Amino acid sequence: MASVRRRGKSSPKAPRRDPNGLGYPRIPGLYDAAQVEAWKATTDAASLWVARLSCSPCIAYQSVNPNDGKLLKSFEHMSPAELEQSLAAAKTCFQTWKHTSYAERAVVVTKAAALLRAHVDDFATLETLEMRKRINEARGEVTLSADILSYYAQHAECFLAPVTLHAQAGEAHMESSPTGVLFCVEPWNVPYYAAPV
């Protein structure tokens, strides 16, 4: 493979959009001076995240259009009490959901798939505005996510059916049982795909 060399003057560097050295553009009024100094003192992403969470008072999460830097929406932090209330509500829902038949669950999951398909452009546009994902890729992700939901709605009962195991002694079987509420941090690059998988 041949290498290509450019001759002549190199093109000027693009203006730096990150005057604080934090890895993202400075948005006026978003961070105070103490937060900036605290972040500058950190050396790795984990420390930066911990420093961000420990700032007091915490600022709202902000969805910013990466193309033009305009604020799309702000989301206030949940207080510990609000978080506990949400987890308790999820646990209550789980107690009902775990006794719901596969047929009833399939109706809900099928409805979720239908809503994704009915609003492909709405969901794709939101994803493009928030993370600058190309619109056709975002549409593809929404459609794929709807397809996955439909697939599970049709096949979940078979996947989760008890399986007889051929034990050398005695009888054995394997069954799938609901375990409870899961709390996780999802990757930002495939938000719709992450939900059904």
Domain annotation for the chain: domains and CATH numbers? 80-194 (3.40.605.10)
92 vs 53 pLDDT, higher one: 92
DSSP state of 178: -
Give the Cβ contact number of residue 21 at 10 Å. 9
Give the list of residues 6+ apart from residue 72 with CB closer than 8 angstroms, or none.
63, 64, 65, 129, 130
Span 139-150, pLDDT tens digits: 999 999 999 999
Query: Does the structure show a pLDDT above 60 at 55?
Result: no
Q: What's the predicted TM-score (pTM) here?
A: 0.64
How many other CB atoms sit within 10 Å of the CB of residue 113? 20
